Amino acid sequence: MANPKNSAPILLLHGEERFLVEEKARTTLEAWRSELVSDFGFDRLEGQGLNAARLQDSVLQAPFLDPYRVVAATMVPAARAESLAPALADVPATTRVLITVAGRLGAGNKLAKTVTAAGGTVEEMVHLKGRALSEWAARRAHDHGLTPAIAAQVVRVTPPDLTVIDSELAKLAAYKAS
């Protein structure tokens, strides 16, 4: 296993709330990529069909022109996530790894355990319900320049899907701005 004191950031995002997984992945990648000076330092791998050998090959490549490499494996099927664990056994300090999983991983998942053992972070994004959903919608409405009352109304009339709620709030913000 990698030495947690010397390892680069490894972030594993999973859970039933795909919108939050994708949003956290996007903001993390934006922050990590902001320090790269070329496109050579970034490697995006599609999770569908990804195997441990391909992921390990990308993780072990040395950075070229950049201070570090960023490897993003996106939307790995939850049923196949464990098979990627061997690829993260020895992540160089010059590599940052982001893995998003399409679905929820169990507590005993080998990939989650490997990430944790390597000094990385595992975050589960759960479906928001009740008060948590209302608070999220109010924050999102504020980000769009709308009031919490508008957010509450949107939550009442739409399904509890963050993608739909965010889309409706964006439409209302665009209408308000016009």
What is the H or E stretch that residue 162 is in? helix 162-177
User: What does the block give as tokens for 88?
Assistant: 């993260």
CA–CA separation, 72 vs 45, rounded Å? 6
CA–CA separation, 156 vs 20, rounded Å? 20
pLDDT score for 178: 85
Calculate what percentage of the chain has a pLDDT beyond 70. 96
State the residue for tokens 């999983």. Answer: 101
Q: Cβ(93)–Cβ(2) under 8 Å?
A: no
CA–CA separation, 50 vs 73, rounded Å? 8
Overall pTM > 0.85: yes
Sorted by where each begins, the domain ranges of the chain are: 10-124, 130-177
pLDDT score for 8: 58
State the residue for tokens 């010059």. Answer: 94
pLDDT score for 6: 43
Calculate what percentage of the chain has a pLDDT beyond 90. 88
Can you count the helices (H) and strands (E) in the chain?
Answer: 6, 5
CA–CA separation, 113 vs 57, rounded Å? 21
Look up residue 73 and give its DSSP letter: E
CA–CA separation, 6 vs 121, rounded Å? 15
Mean pLDDT, range 7-29, rounded to an integer: 92
* pLDDT(26) > 70: yes
CA dihedral 86, 92, 94, 96 (to 10 degrees): 30
Please give the C-alpha separations between residue 27 and each of 39, 64, 85, 131, 166, in angstroms, as whole numbers.
Answer: 18, 23, 24, 25, 16
* pLDDT(89) > 90: no
Mean pLDDT, range 132-152, rounded to an integer: 96
> What crossing angle do the helices spanning 148-157 and 162-177 adopt, rounded to 10°?
130
Report whether CATH 3.40.50.300 matches the domain 10-124: yes
CA–CA separation, 175 vs 23, rounded Å? 24
